[in-house]
A and B are shown apart, each in its own frame.
Chain A
């Protein structure tokens, strides 16, 4: 393996993610090429230093605070009591029946009144239309008679 190829594989070599044959080839090359060894050492040192400086100095275990939040969220909501109230059944049934009868009676009488009014109104309209029509016909006939007499 040539130096250029080794250099492109150094990152994966450091990671340990190379295939075994490739890893062996890189290791063999490093055993006899001091320039690549230098590059390898430099890369390892830079990555190590960067990792050390980018890591949190002392990670803080904050589970106690987190637990407080979780428990606050988990508090059960007040549930409505499951006791049924007894209702006076007979009174309820009677009032329902009365309401239905009232609505039926009122509905029937109201409908009858509305139909009556509507019928009389329509009758009047038809009558008026007829009167208008006959008036118009009479006027037209008179007009025609006058014209005919003038022509004569």
Chain B
């Protein structure tokens, strides 16, 4: 995210704090895709991702008066999102990726595939998805969170550090560890 965008996000947040609905809409349009990617990567459930994104924005609106422009607006929004994810995990007792396989399979069926995908390709993709889920499930929570924020959502390292309230070097090391583990876990399937 560029400095200009970050600055305008803060300006938007300040207008949201004053109760401007148009600013809130602009903020929503700017962040809803990222938030849905974030929740989907963690939950692997499109409906849950949509609901959690909705809940994040609703909470953001209700607590708008508490906003203080100390850092980037993205970090502020993702700190909310992370809190809501943890709350969701507590409510559903889902500390990790514990989605039943049937849901993942049903979702796999709905994913768009190329017309020339043969059975081998589909089987290979299916296996890759399963391996990926298993690899993500095995990652410690904080490494998975950093990996998702950086590699799926596309947040900057500094922004992630601000969101998680930890040093930049900690974010870097967590991410490197996560990638190494994922690469090792996916190496066999990738070589197929």
A positions within 8 Å CB-CB of B: 11-12, 15, 17, 42-43, 45-47, 49-51, 53-57, 59-63, 65-67, 69-70, 73
Tell me the interface secondary structure of chain B in the complex: helix
* Distance between Cα atoms of A17 and B41 in the complex (Å): 24
B40 touches A55 (CB 8 A): yes
A42 to B191, alpha carbons, bound, how many Å? 10
Is B46 at the interface (CB under 8 A from chain A)? Answer: yes
CB distance from B128 to the nearest CB of A (A): 7
Residues in A with CB closer than 8 Å to B40 are 54-56
| B37-A56 in contact (CB<8A) | yes
Besides A47-B151, A63-B29, 19 new A-B residue pairs in contact (Cβ under 8 A), listed by A number = A46-B182, A46-B183, A49-B128, A50-B132, A51-B151, A54-B41, A54-B136, A54-B151, A54-B152, A55-B41, A59-B32, A60-B36, A61-B29, A63-B32, A65-B54, A66-B54, A67-B25, A69-B58, A70-B61
A-chain residues with CB within 8 Å of residue B37 when the two chains form the complex:
54-56, 59
Closest partner residue, chain B, to A70 (CB atom): B61
Instruction: Return chain A residues, CB-CB under 8 Å to B128.
Output: 49, 53
A14 to B179, CA, bound (A): 12
Separation of A56 and B151 alpha carbons in the complex (Å): 13
Give bound CA distance, A59 to B111, whole Å: 13
Instruction: Compute how far the CA of A70 lies from the CA of B32 in the bound complex, rounded to whole angstroms.
Output: 16
State how many angstroms separate the Cβ of B46 from the closest Cβ of chain A: 6
Contact B186 A46 (CB under 8 A): yes
Determine the distance from Cα of A47 to Cα of B49 in the docked complex, in whole angstroms: 21
| Chain A residues within an 8 Å CB radius of B21 | 67, 70
Complex formed: what's the CA distance from A84 to B62 in Å? Answer: 35
Question: Is B190 on the interface with A (CB-CB < 8 A)?
Answer: yes
We find that the number of chain B residues with CB closer than 8 angstroms to chain A is 41
Alpha-carbon distance between A98 and B191 when the two chains are bound, in angstroms: 102
Name the residue on A nearest B24 (C-beta): A70
Provide the residues of chain A in CB contact with B175, threshold 8 Å. Answer: 11
Q: Does B176 contact A (CB under 8 A)?
A: yes
**Residue in A11, A12, A53, A59 whose beta carbon sits within 8 Å of that of B33 in the complex:** A59
Of A56, A57, A62, most buried by chain B (CB within 10 Å of CB) is A56
B10 to chain A, nearest CB (A): 21
Evaluate whether A57 and B25 lie within 8 angstroms (CB atoms) in the complex, with A11-B179, A46-B183, A50-B151 already known.
Answer: no
How many Å from the CB of A136 to the closest CB on chain B? 81
Cα A59 to Cα B37 in complex, Å, equals 8
Please state if A55 and B152 are interface contacts (CB–CB under 8 Å).
yes
User: Do residues B50 and A60 form an inter-chain contact, with CB atoms below 8 A?
Assistant: yes
Cα(A51)–Cα(B132), bound, Å = 11
Q: Given B132, B157, B190, which contacts A17 in the complex, CB threshold below 8 Å? A: B157
10 of the cross-chain contacts (CB-CB < 8 Å) are A11-B179, A15-B157, A46-B183, A46-B186, A46-B190, A54-B148, A57-B111, A57-B112, A66-B28, A67-B25
- Tell whether, in the assembled complex, residue B152 and residue A42 are in contact, meaning their CB atoms are under 8 Å apart: no
